Amino acid sequence: MTLSRVLRSVPMMATALIAALGVFTAPAGASPLPAGTGTPVLHFNADGSTSVEGVIESGHPVTIDFDPARLPGCRGADEYGDSWGISVQYRIDGGDLRVYPVTERVTADGKDTTIRSLGTLQLRPDTHHLQMWFVNQDRSGCQEEDTNHGANYQFDINQPPVLARATYRADWSETLTGPLRRGGALVIDYDPARLPQCRATYRGYPAWDITAFYRFDGGPVQSAPVNQGAEAIPFRIDVPANAQKIETWFKISNYYAQCSAYDSDYGKNYTFSIN
């Protein structure tokens, strides 16, 4: 039997995907993130309990692991199979409402099945508070919510000091402000206008993203997103205690076409010395 992991489009879930602030999705069925990823995880367990794995810090991602058994109603189906999905709705520092799916639908033998999925939110460096709740909906209009008895789920964000900021502006200038020190932190603030290529859309929504790549002293390459659509999302990098320099470069990719472009200072990469 061949399993085809194809999402069937539903307007509610498409809206949720685009409305999120700086996110990756990591489909995982019923499994949490592998141990040792370093990303904190908020677990919402089937028995109604909630637990935090790791430390939630500003400028770093946090992963949402929600067990669909917490919202067992609204399990609509149609000729294609399951027609329901669960999303997390959240506000950062009391700001705009954001939505992101915590389930996905996969198709096997022509039938849709809704499965558990992980949603990862990239927090801005100045984030202080995160509140969230969960909504289950199906195509019939049935809806149920998990709101912590109306109080919503509230999380304070740890605030390590940010010592330096690298800013990459639309006019192709780059500046480093603040002391970049070993054992400190660096915020990457990248303007998406620097990479205008590959800007296709899908059903009216951006179908591209920009990734920052970085490495210390020629070591392993690491990466993080720097945008959600045209909106820039600064992120924080922790500087190792023995680092001498950091290199950065950026890539835009299109989801649906083989199109990509780089911003790498003509292949030299953007390099900053660390004191």
Give tens-digit pLDDT for 177-218.
999 999 999 999 999 999 999 998 876 778 899 999 999 999
Residue 203 has a pLDDT of 66
**Is the pLDDT assigned to residue 56 strictly greater than 70?**
yes
Secondary structure (DSSP) of 13-79 = HHHHHHHSSSEEEEE-TT--PPTT----EEEE-TTS-EEEES--BTTSEEEEEE-GGGS-----EET
**What confidence score (pLDDT) does residue 121 get?**
86
Q: 3-156 adopts what CATH topology?
A: Immunoglobulin-like (2.60.40)
Is residue 257 pLDDT above 90, yes or no? no
Q: What pLDDT band is residue 9 in, cutting at 50, 70 and 90?
A: very low
pLDDT above 70 for 236: yes
Where residue 177 falls (left for φ over 0; alpha for ψ -120 to 50; beta otherwise) is beta
Q: Are 159 and 55 in contact (CB under 8 A)?
A: no
Token output for 253: 């990719």
48-57, 112-121, 138-147: the lowest-pLDDT one: 112-121
Residue-range domain boundaries for the chain: 3-156, 164-273
- What are the φ and ψ backbone dihedral angles of 35, each rounded to 5 degrees? -65, 145
Mean pLDDT of 85-113: 91
pTM for this entry: 0.69
Residue 223 pLDDT greater than 70, yes or no = yes
Of 220, 215, 273, nearest to 249 (Cα)?
215
Percent of the chain's residues with pLDDT above 70: 86
Structure token digits, residue 44: 């919402």
Average pLDDT of 242-258? 93
Average pLDDT of the segment spanning 36-61: 89
